[in-house]
């Protein structure tokens, strides 16, 4: 049960007015802390830093400066002459001018600050101080971030660079082997990133939040088997004699056939969740084919404590070359995931707006996977807090 404390600042008579959110509600200020008596991460648990997180679509990073906030840190990034992505802190080391509003010199991949002209190389070291040309400028340094480009995604490491291991970027190499087609999408979510993970660990909302697009009543009632392996948590269930969800009926060519539906949804890291399904059609309704695999990659990056960046790739091993299907899947998943986004934002809004100090979430048996995931994240946060204090 979550028992993390909420540090609320008392507002005296002369305190400034509370901030109003986009939904017209008030936001409570809270300080993330790890409480020893707890054991379950929640929206106030400090963000996990030592982890690979997606920064952007690879195709969207070009030879010009972009900026994005990740784990409460503002970053500036661009594709350099060698074709690699450079990511630096978006804050000049002199007087904090935002570097994405500065100049990228494409001939040597340096960024010249738009305020007093201090110029940085791709490793973040200052190479020029225009007002002090006789001085070695290298004493000014800004943070540079380890980066990995893998298929359609750019990953960064916002934690201790000494332990940034590219081999720890989640494995989805199969996506690039040519046997898969996919639709994709992105949402900015006004909610803590754990809520996205929890939503993905939970299949019992399919029928109620999404209706027939993803769920069937049988699906919501099916028994889930939860297994924990190290820091990963897998939910597995199997349904026999079930219809194909609306979304896949036409695309798979299965129509109204009855299938055996296997579904795994796996928390891999705080930045990644993998959802794999297998539809078995023993009768081979569609030209004798008996197996169909839809698989969704979910890339989740905390932007701030209470906002998140969420990308997804909805892959399929049926009709992989059908570009029209890619678009259909992009459109369909966007509208389904918008329902998840809305639910997450409404819940976040409830936490921020409804002042009910004694409130505790009640768990139901189907929350087992999500609760185990939150325990793991809690342990990771506690370990990082210990290291930071050591």
Q: In whole angstroms, what is the distance from residue 193 CA to residue 161 CA?
A: 23
Q: State yes or no: residue 92 binds ligand FES (CB under 6 A).
A: yes
* In the complex, least distance from residue 205 CB atom to Fe ion, rounded to whole angstroms: 6
Which span (92-100, 180-188, 276-284, 376-384) binds ligand FES, by CB under 6 A?
Answer: 92-100
Of 4, 87, 88, 118, the residue at the interface with ligand FES (CB under 6 A) is 118
In the complex, the smallest distance separating the C-beta of residue 107 from ligand FES, rounded to whole angstroms, is 20
Residue 192: which residues within 8 A CB-CB, separation 6 or more?
42, 43, 302, 305, 306, 308, 348
Decide: is 88 part of the binding site for ligand FES (CB under 6 A). Answer: no
The span from the CA of 326 to the CA of 323, in Å, is 5
Residue 23 as a binder of ligand FES (CB under 6 A): the answer is: no
Please check whether residue 374 is in contact with residue 42, taking contact to mean a CB–CB distance below 8 angstroms: yes
236 near ligand FES (CB under 6 A):
no
Distances 97 to 76, 114, 355 between C-alpha atoms, Å: 12, 7, 38
Total residues interacting with ligand FES, rule: CB under 6 A: 9
Check residue 97 for interaction with ligand FES (CB under 6 A).
Answer: yes
> How many residues in the shown chain lie near Fe ion by CB under 5 A?
1
267 φ, ψ (degrees, to nearest 5): -80, 115
Site for ligand FES in 274-333 (CB under 6 A): none
**Binding partner of 11, given Fe ion, ligand FES, none, CB within 5-8 angstroms per partner class:** none
- The greatest distance separating any two alpha carbons of the chain, rounded to the nearest whole angstrom, comes to 80
Contacts with Fe ion in 326-355 (CB under 5 A)? 340
- Look at residues 188, 240, 192 and name the one whose alpha carbon lies nearest to residue 216: 240
Whether the CB-CB separation of 24 and 352 falls below 8 Å is answered with no
| Contact stretch for ligand FES (CB under 6 A) within 116-124, 157-165, 225-233, 314-322 | 116-124
Which one among 34, 88, 113, 297 touches ligand FES, defined by CB under 6 A?
113
Window of 108-116, 147-155, 246-254, 259-267 that interacts with ligand FES by CB under 6 A = 108-116
Q: Please say which residue, 115 or 186, places its beta carbon nearer to ligand FES.
A: 115
Cβ proximity to ligand FES, 23 vs 95, nearer residue: 95
Name which of 97 and 180 has its Cβ closer to ligand FES: 97
CB of 377 to Fe ion, least distance (A): 20
Contact partner at residue 349 from Fe ion, ligand FES, none, CB < 5 to 8 Å by partner kind? none
Q: Mark the segment that binds ligand FES (CB under 6 A) among 110-118, 192-200, 203-211, 257-265.
A: 110-118
Query: Which positions touch Fe ion (CB under 5 A)?
Result: 340
Query: Which positions touch ligand FES (CB under 6 A)?
Result: 92, 94-95, 97, 113, 115-118
């Amino acid at each position: 049960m979550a028992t993390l404390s909420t540090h609320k600042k008392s507002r005296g008579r002369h305190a400034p007015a509370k901030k109003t959110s986009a939904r017209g509600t008030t936001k409570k200020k809270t300080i993330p802390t790890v409480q020893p008596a707890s054991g379950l991460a929640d929206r106030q648990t400090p963000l996990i830093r030592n982890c690979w997180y997606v920064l952007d679509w690879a195709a969207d990073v070009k030879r010009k400066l972009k900026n994005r906030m990740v784990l409460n840190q503002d970053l500036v990034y661009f594709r350099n002459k060698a074709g690699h992505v450079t990511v630096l802190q978006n804050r000049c080391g002199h007087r904090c001018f935002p570097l994405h509003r500065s100049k990228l010199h494409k001939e040597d991949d340096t960024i010249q600050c738009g305020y007093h002209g201090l110029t940085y190389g791709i490793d973040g070291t200052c190479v020029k101080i225009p007002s002090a040309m006789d001085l070695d400028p290298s004493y000014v340094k800004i943070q540079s971030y380890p980066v990995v480009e893998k298929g359609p995604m750019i990953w960064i490491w916002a934690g201790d660079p000494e332990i940034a291991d590219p081999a720890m970027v989640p494995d989805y190499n199969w996506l690039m082997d040519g046997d898969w087609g996919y639709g994709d999408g992105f949402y900015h979510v006004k909610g803590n990133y754990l809520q996205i993970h929890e939503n993905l660990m939970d299949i019992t909302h399919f029928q109620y939040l999404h209706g027939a697009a993803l769920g069937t009543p049988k699906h919501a009632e099916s028994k889930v088997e939860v297994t924990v392996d190290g820091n990963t948590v897998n939910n597995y269930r199997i349904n026999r004699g079930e219809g194909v969800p609306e979304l896949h009926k036409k695309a798979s060519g299965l129509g109204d056939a009855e299938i055996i539906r296997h579904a795994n949804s796996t928390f891999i890291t705080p930045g990644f969740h993998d959802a794999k399904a297998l539809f078995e059609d023993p009768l081979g309704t569609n030209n004798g084919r008996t197996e169909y695999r839809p698989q969704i990659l979910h890339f989740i990056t905390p932007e701030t404590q209470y906002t998140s960046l969420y990308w997804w790739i909805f892959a399929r091993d049926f009709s992989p070359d059908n570009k029209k299907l890619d678009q259909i899947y992009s459109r369909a998943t966007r509208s389904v995931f918008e329902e998840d986004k809305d639910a997450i934002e409404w819940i976040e809004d409830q936490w921020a707006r409804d002042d009910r100090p004694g409130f505790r979430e009640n768990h139901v048996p189907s929350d087992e996977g999500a609760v185990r995931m939150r325990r793991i994240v809690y342990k990771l946060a506690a370990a990082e807090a210990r290291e930071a204090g050591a």
